[in-house]
Amino acid sequence: MTTKTAPQNVIKRINELRDQINHHNYLYYVLDNPEIPDAEFDKLFRELQTLEQQHPELITPESPTQRVGAKPLKVFGEVKHQIPMLSLANAMDEEEVRNFGRRVADTLEQSDAEHIEYTAEPKLDGLAISIVYHDGRLFQAATRGDGFTGEDVTQNVRTINSVPLKLVGRDYPQILEVRGEVYMPKAGFVALNEKQQAAGVKTFANPRNAAAGSLRQLDSSITATRPLAMYCYGVGRVEGATLPERHSDILQRLRQWGLRISPEIKTVHGITGCLAYFAEISKRREKLDYEIDGVVYKVNRIAQQEQLGFVSRAPRWAIAHKFQAQEAMTQVVGIEVSVGRTGALTPVAKLKPVDVGGVTVSNATLHNEDEIERLDVRVGDTVVIYRAGDVIPKVDRVVSSLRPKQTKKFHMPKKCPVCDSDVERREGEAITRCTGGLFCAAQRKNSIKHFNSRRAMDVDGMGDKLVDQLVDKGLIHNAADMYSLDKEQLAGLERMADKSAQNILDALEKSKSTTLARFIYALGIRDVGEATAQALATHFGDLRGLMKSNEEALQQIPDVGPVVANSIVKFFQQPHNREVIDKLIKAGVHWPKVAQITTEAAPLKGKTFVITGTLSIKRDELKARLQSLGAKVTGSVSKSTDYVVVGEEPGSKFDKAEQLGIAILDEAAISKLLKKAEQ
């Protein structure tokens, strides 16, 4: 590099940085073996950016900084492939693969077909690409197109980090055309769609569409933001060097030059080896971080490839062994809504049964109301169903040209299809939920398990497995039903006997004596945790006052905002929930009278507490009581702390409180303070 303005030490440093960055890119993207942390790489990159900004005359097209995209194109130019990019013949089952093997053996006049060497590699579900390097520098990139003419996507390919702008080493050909697949990793696809959805723009149906759409952007700066990657699978035009005699060795040579090849590539012998590879990849398919739709087998020796030649537009020496189709077309015969254990409503498309990937599919999830709106799927529509491995089948797209006349848009129900309670969908959320938490059969197990939990009613021995048995056998339908169980019913359950049954009955009887705060928390009202339950109990003093309260009154309580207030009102508005509460009180659930404290009269309002050490009172319970009295409870001691509550083995918070002269309360002192404040 020569220049009249830049000092030689700057030129030298820029070249050093480019070499180092290219080296580390090679280790990261090709060898998957980085040797420096990302932060160190970023330092090198920023230093190069700074030097190039100071000396723009030194910027070259192959500099690592030049991946950000160039001026938007008005249209893609055409590129004629000097060596056509032919497609592969497909084999849909084992017999077709064996037929391919027999044809290869016959043409090569091989008596023992199992001695023929093949390379096997995953068939990526992406976009075929041709990249030409002149003297080791990226010169041109083009899509496959029709195999003879493709689109010039050079600017866009330059933005892909895994594509080297300059080859590694010095023994590469003067002209090297590599061929491969541009794809989008699964994780990148998910992240991109989340970003698209957040921006309110159309999401992509699958990683292949996302890759194709990203690579064919006229504005390469957009492509630069997309998580694209590339694997090379072969070569086209080569001038100025002789390549190895085996396809597998050629791929390894490409890797030495800084080009990525799939780590899954394997050399096998005979069709038996090919099929064994197919079986192995099939098992690991879902664990790969990219989508594949099959496996490609290629005769490994180049001389044998030349002997086999081509037929029509496909080579005789290679074949694609495809997985069973992951997509199929069928008709929507209905849309039903299921209710999950948390009350989430999920629309499900009922389909005319269709085979997808070897599995008969008659249902496909539609996720939520937003997804139905995006797809505009209606009863009677013809749709494309997508299924990948064990993933639940989903409606990928609607074939709008086949839509019958007079179809109607689908809308989520206003009432829960299971319990007829109201449903709600909060602003900014995608999920619609049932508000009948205590009664809804779909939420039954979750509701009862929460009710029994240690911080709620604390029913000792009533574990998850026991609740499952009671619900599955139809012995209980809601939390109140537990108090009607008898010894005979319990003793007849799995792993239960008279003594354990009596223990459960005793625990249920003991749980009837509780606190109002615990009872409110046990109801499982959405967004109401222990602290909020304590604040509600202290503010209202009784349950009936809380049940009759409106959103405006609720928002006068500390930490109760409009969302929480809405959840509380909606919960108590449901007749089913009120019925269960009445049954619980009639069963004998009770609590001592609570001294009502209004927000204005909160005795500890403005006071900050810190709790440290081991106390006989549960820390969460103490925190909730303090907060209900208007206090703020924090995790660290500072000058703004008013009191530090100290138990056994208090640690550094106690020391800091002494240093700052903050009031220290032992368990007796905090109990006295609470008793006085709650009077």
pLDDT in tens, 591-624: 988 766 555 567 888 889 999 998 888 777 788 7
For residue 601, the model assigns a pLDDT of 61
- What is the average per-residue pLDDT within 43-49? 83
From the CA atom positions of the chain, what is the Rg in Å? 34
Question: Which two structure tokens, joined as six digits, stand for 274?
Answer: 């090919």
Give residue for tokens 């950000």. Answer: 68
Give span(s): CATH 3.30.470.30, the chain: 90-322
Catalytic residues: 123
Q: Is the pLDDT of residue 92 over 90?
A: no
Lowest mean pLDDT segment, chosen from 250-254, 321-325, 509-513: 321-325
pLDDT given for residue 610 in this prediction: 92
- Joined together, the tokens standing for residue 511 give 């749980």
- CATH 3.40.50.10190 location in the chain: 608-678
Strand 608-612 with 292-299, pairing? unpaired
Q: Which CATH number fits domain 608-678: 3.90.10.10, 3.40.50.10190, 3.40.250.10, 3.30.420.40?
A: 3.40.50.10190
Q: Which CATH superfamily is domain 424-600 in?
A: 5' to 3' exonuclease, C-terminal subdomain (1.10.150.20)
* pLDDT over 70 (residue 52): yes
CA dist., res. 534 & res. 529, Å (int): 9
Q: At what angle do helices 270-284 and 94-108 cross, to 10 degrees?
A: 150
Q: Average pLDDT, whole number, for the chain?
A: 87
Mean pLDDT on 175-199: 92
More confident call, 386 vs 107: 107
The answer to whether the CB of 33 falls within 8 A of the CB of 27 is: yes
CATH code reported for the domain at 327-402: 2.40.50.140
pLDDT above 70 for 150:
yes
CB 412 within 8 A of CB 371: no
Which segments of the chain belong to CATH 2.40.50.140? 327-402
Measured distance CA(11)–CA(34) in Å, rounded: 26
Instruction: Tell me the pTM.
Output: 0.52
Region of 16 on the Ramachandran plot (φ > 0 left; ψ -120 to 50 alpha; else beta):
alpha
> Binning pLDDT at 50, 70 and 90, where does residue 71 land?
low
Class of the CATH domain delimited by 8-58: mainly alpha
* Residue 3: per-residue pLDDT: 45
Classify domain 90-322 by CATH number.
3.30.470.30
Q: List, in sequence order, every residue forming a beta bridge with 78; answer none if it has no partner.
A: 151
Q: Pairing mode, if any, of strands 318-322 and 90-91?
A: parallel
- Average pLDDT of the residues in 122-142: 94
Quote the pLDDT of residue 141: 95
